[in-house]
Amino acid sequence: MKRGMISLVLMLSIGLATTGLAGCDSSSVTPILGDAAFNIINLVLDSQTNKFAVAGDSVLLVKDAIALVSTINANQSPPNNTAPGITQVAILYDKAGVLAQDVYHLKTGKAGIGIILEGGRTFESISSTNVSIDATQTNKITIVPLQNATTKTTVSATKGWQNTGIFLERGKQFTVKYLSGLWTTNKGSIGLSDAAGQPVHYPGGIVCNCGEPIPGYSTQAMVGKIGNSQGYIPLQVGDSFAGVSYDNDFLYLRINEADSFLYNNSGSVVVAVTTNNLS
Which pLDDT tens digit goes with each residue over 238-278? 999 999 999 888 999 999 999 999 999 999 999 999 998 87
Q: Phi and psi dihedrals of 261, rounded to 5? A: -110, 5
What per-residue confidence (pLDDT) applies to 98?
Answer: 92
With a CB cutoff of 8 Å and minimum separation 6, the contacts of 219 are 185, 197, 206, 207, 208, 212, 255, 256, 257, 261
Domain boundaries, the chain: 7-146, 150-276
CATH topology of domain 150-276: Jelly Rolls (2.60.120)
In this predicted model, what pLDDT tens digit does every residue of 114-172 receive, in sequence order?
888 886 444 333 446 889 888 998 999 999 888 888 989 999 999 999 999 898 988 99
141's enclosing H/E stretch is strand 140-146
Q: Taking Cα atoms as reference points, which of 2, 38, 34 lies closest to residue 23? A: 38
Report d(CA 126, CA 29) in Å as an integer: 29
Report d(CA 66, CA 86) in Å as an integer: 10
Phi-psi region of 198 (alpha: psi -120 to 50; beta: other; left: phi over 0): beta
Beta strand 140-146 pairing with 249-255: unpaired
**CA 23 distance to own-chain centroid:** 13
Q: How many CB atoms lie within 10 A of CB 62?
A: 16
pLDDT at 78 over 80: yes
Beta strand 130-134 pairing with 125-126: antiparallel
Beta strand 86-95 pairing with 130-134: parallel
What per-residue confidence (pLDDT) applies to 244?
Answer: 97
pLDDT at 187 over 60: yes
